[in-house]
Chain A
């Protein structure tokens, strides 16, 4: 089970307070679909995903991105029990959505990259390391109930 030090928690919550969840969520999901086009396989009903600008401007992508990142916010409130916090979502992603957990790792890394672009110098190697631990923990928690 992943354990976060006080410094790591501070690095994470400190940055999270300044994140525009709606905007960042749309950007994260959008970039996932642009950079790793095979991830579009889960979003056949999202309409126009034919170009980078179509994807980034797509209202369904933005809405779903917001949903996903809001849920990520729950992870931050439950850093000491990610597996418990994401148990139900894990079952959903396996049994109903059929999402390969590799996609959680891809999205987590895209999120880290977005934080880097928004926060620049503030996103130091130490801050990045804390966030890498978090996104890895979330990915593992979301995969935990797979069978």
Chain B
């Protein structure tokens, strides 16, 4: 699965539209993930996961910043995400199934806040992008 030039354009223009809201959306996507897929909470026993949690908001911003960096280096995701790939493989070891849950909730969050921009073609490109990021993050697992 390869990101076409059109996919890259769609992802970049979506990220431009999101602007300064990326951190907020990251937090919302995490909250949605914990609510809809409770097994994901097992990775955060040390967090307050209640609604409005400062820890979730901060972590959401972290995730969003990493995605913003990925967008900026969309032509070389393995290179740009190498450190995070190491982290997930050797320290965090989040089971690969969970990346699909978070990716889905990122799409839901974007669809909620930017319905007009979230056309089928943009939806497809974003789904591919999150899938590509997930693949890179799990690429060193074994």
Contact = CB atoms under 8 A, between A and B. Distances in A.
Contact of A34 (B28, B31, B113, B124): B124
A123 B112 contact: yes
Nearest to B31: A125
Secondary structure dominating the interface of B: helix
Interface residues of A, number: 23
A121 B28 CA distance: 11
A35 B127 contact: yes
Contact of A120 (B104, B105, B113, B123): B113
A31 B123 contact: yes
B121 A34 contact: yes
B25 to A, nearest CB: 12
A56 B120 contact: yes
A128 B32 contact: yes
B34 to A, nearest CB: 8
B81 interface: no
A123 to B, nearest CB: 6
Given A125-B31, A125-B35, A132-B37, A116 B112 contact: yes
Interface in A54-106: 55-56
Contact of A126 (B35, B104, B119, B123): B35
B59 to A, nearest CB: 15
Interface of B: 28, 31-32, 35-37, 51, 104-105, 107-109, 111-113, 115, 118-121, 123-124, 127
